[in-house]
Structure 1
Amino acid sequence: MSHQQDLYEQDFFAWAQHNAALLRAGRVAEADLEHLAEEIEDMGKAERHALRSQLRQLLVHLLKLDYSPARDPRRSWFEAVQNARAEIADRLADSPSLAPQAEGIMAEVWPRVRRQALNALSAFGEQVQLPEDCPYSLQQALDETFFPDGPGSRR
């Protein structure tokens, strides 16, 4: 096993520092290119995963605001919506190439969002009917001025 392989498996931080120094020095041939490529790919996947997670949180809390008759937790749901929107805006500002994927990601997460919202509401005794399809467009979900009016506003 090579020194690079050992370092990668035993001390990731040291491996990263060593390879960064090699690249900065122009000693690309000595760098662990295979693992560097994997790590770069993983960074891209992490950005997409973070966007997916924030979209999921955003949609769950929009559904709670829209379909729950509860009054007490509404303030925390508003805050969660605002936080998720801010995180999404930051992610898209840092990685604009994710923006065209956001609508598809929203569609990917919708089934889980719906189940998660149903489970959260039913845990507090609320039996609500949530739509099979996402009732929000991406533009609407990300609009900082949009907040659902609450139970009965859509029906």
Structure 2
Amino acid sequence: MKTLYVSKEELKQLYNKDFPLWVEINLRFLKEKSYELVDWDNLIEEIEDMGRRDLDACISFLAVILEHMYKLDNFRGLAGGENAGKSWIKSIKNSRVRIHILFERYPSLKSKLPNELKTAWILARGRLKIWLINNNYNPDDFNIPTESPYSYQDAMEKDFNNS
């Protein structure tokens, strides 16, 4: 494989202009052990992002759980009807399963996710506000707490079978 000549500055510019080509060139440099030519700053950033991707998915699922737990506890009346909340319970259960699947694939996430409750609640709180707006309510009228009213254990273990 012949090394494609690209200056360090051109390679850094490719990162934003033509990402697939940037990957191809860096991969070639790595395979050829031309380490001095690799765009290390952006490569390190990409590796960090790769490592965070599955944790971000877990955080997103945890946010759904928190959002729907809060809706169950505070907004069943707004949802109306006899079956109010059943879809939220189903969503909570599905999100828990998805988290456990990720834990099976990547065991290290199991110890990291409990530390992300605050981040998940920020996402859940935003989703709650959007839901209220979409249902013609002013979120400011509902005093949604800034701190999660639920623990990580509540989110992952609370029983909804009799709800």
Report the TM-score, using the length of structure 2 for normalisation. 0.65
For CA contacts below 8 A with separation 6 or more, give which structure has more relative contact order. Answer: 1
Percentage of identical aligned residues: 28
Deviations 1:34-88 (CA, angstroms, capped at 9, x unpaired): 2101111223343333322221111111222344244345332233213322332
1:41 partner letter: E
Q: CA RMSD in A?
A: 3.4
Deviations 1:9-48 (CA, angstroms, capped at 9, x unpaired): 2110121122223323433333211210111122334333
Q: Which residue does 1:52 correspond to in 2?
A: 59
Structure 2 gap ranges (5+) = 1-6
Structure 1 gap ranges (5+) = 151-155
Q: Does residue 106 of structure 1 match 2:106? A: no
1:4-153 pair list within 5 angstroms: 4-67=11-74, 68-69=76-77, 70=80, 71-110=82-121, 113-114=124-125, 116-117=127-128, 120=131, 123=135, 134=148, 136-143=150-157, 146-147=159-160, 149-150=162-163
Aligned length: 148
Change (3 A) 1:93 1:25: farther
Change (3 A) 1:74 1:36: same
Instruction: Determine helix, strand or coil for the equivalent of 1:146.
Output: coil
1:99 partner letter: K
Q: 1:4 and 1:84 mapped to 2: Cα distance?
A: 40
Shift of 1:130: 7.2
